[in-house]
Amino acid sequence: MKNAGIYLHIPFCLSRCSYCDFATGMYNEASAERYVLNLITEIESWREVEPPENVDTIYFGGGTPSLLTPPQLEALLKAVRERFTVSANSEITIEINPGSVTSDKLTAFREIGINRASFGAQTFDDHELARLGRSHSSNDTRQTFRHLRDAGFDNISLDLIAGLPGQTMAGWKRNLDEAFSLRPEHVSFYLLEVHQSTPLANHIKSGLQPQPDEDLAAEMYEAMLDRAVAEGYEHYEISNLCLPGRAARHNTKYWIAAPYYGFGCSAHSYDGGFRRWANERDLVRYSEMIEQDGKAIVQETLLTEADRQAEAVFLGLRMMQGLSFRDYEELFGADLRDQHESDLARFLEAGLIECNGDLLRLTRAGALLSNEVFAAFV
């Protein structure tokens, strides 16, 4: 069996970014303290899988988990270690927003065992940062990155978003220059998604900001890949690149059907087999449920064999190394080539996928149109 990952959702931020539709609210000390106690209660009373798989990754996501104090994060890690068997060489990641941490705090994070930072730079253009409602400047990004290195973080992932309203290719290339000059071990790259009912969606609707240009965003994706490969990065997942050996161990669990157990409001879990479940999204309601009976699960899905086959294809194809026909057959006793003969022929013909021996994988063009490819397998 594959080792499990633990996800801890910390739903607090200093301000609300205009494009954000995550389950997160404004930070204040009292709410954070109550929430941490509730998370610990949830971890202590968790009995969803018995015995659970051993754990080798822990991920503090959000929100802005770096707003929590080192003692709060340490208390959460202690609760996880008491409830689960956690490997000594676990990857322990925290998401950090530029300007949200002092260098002393980062040193304290390292001291409690956090060994990886996922760093939300998004763009190095101050006008774009302001338009997105981000709470930091590009100088904050450079400075926090230096502080991370000084504190001993030798595994840093940088997030960038392309396709912002009004963004030009020249501006995007300046972003790439800045990002790669920092030499992060890992880069996560997103194309902007405009979610209904976010302030950004309203700004675009009312003409305050231009409509994002999807074709230009696709060119930015290509430019990003060319630049990253030239810089020695491996493109290992549709949206993720890394220096050799630095793939995100936690996130990889989502793509290889490993178990992961999520805690906190809106957290999702998977037992590695046939069951997925999700917690209440609303923070207040989550807290009430935990205080009442120690759990806040509001949704559960039992996967059929067909669901698992579809997931194996569309999650497996996210990995650029490709999906093994042999592994698929061993797992499901069926040949993917027979099951999806016409879809595979269509996508091969369109240049969206390619076969290399036992491996089926997306081409670069396929990575950009991945949702169309995946839809055929669901």
Residues that bind ligand SF4 (CB under 6 A): 13, 16-17, 20, 22, 24, 62-64, 97
In contact, 351 and 361? CB cutoff 8 Å = no
Shortest distance (Å) from residue 173 CB to ligand SF4: 24
Length of the chain: 378
In contact, 101 and 260? CB cutoff 8 Å = no
Shortest distance (Å) from residue 369 CB to ligand SF4: 25
Shortest distance (Å) from residue 86 CB to ligand SF4: 26
Shortest distance (Å) from residue 192 CB to ligand SF4: 11
Residue whose CB is less far from ligand SF4, 86 or 200: 200
Strand ranges (E), 45-123: 55-62, 86-96, 116-122
Residue whose CB is less far from ligand SF4, 100 or 252: 100
Listing DSSP states for 237-305 in one string gives: ETTEEESTT---HHHHHHHTT--EEEESTT-EEE-SSSEEEEE-SSHHHHHHHHHHHS--EEEEEEPPH
> ∠ at Cα 86 (85, 91), nearest 5°?
160
Residue whose CB is less far from ligand SF4, 92 or 200: 200
Residue whose CB is less far from ligand SF4, 283 or 367: 283
For 170, residues 6+ apart whose C-beta sits below 8 A from its C-beta are none
**Cα dihedral: 151, 240, 200, 194 (round 10):** -160
Shortest distance (Å) from residue 17 CB to ligand SF4: 3
**Residue 306's CB: how many other CB atoms inside 10 A?**
11
Shortest distance (Å) from residue 85 CB to ligand SF4: 31
Residue whose CB is less far from ligand SF4, 190 or 332: 190
Shortest distance (Å) from residue 19 CB to ligand SF4: 7
Residue 308 CA to residue 304 CA, distance in Å, equals 6
Residue whose CB is less far from ligand SF4, 3 or 24: 24
- Assign 232 to helix, strand or coil: coil
Residue whose CB is less far from ligand SF4, 2 or 16: 16
Shortest distance (Å) from residue 128 CB to ligand SF4: 14
Residue whose CB is less far from ligand SF4, 13 or 73: 13
Residue 171 CA to residue 161 CA, distance in Å, equals 12
**162 residue type, one letter:** A
Residue 32 CA to residue 12 CA, distance in Å, equals 8
In contact, 239 and 224? CB cutoff 8 Å = no
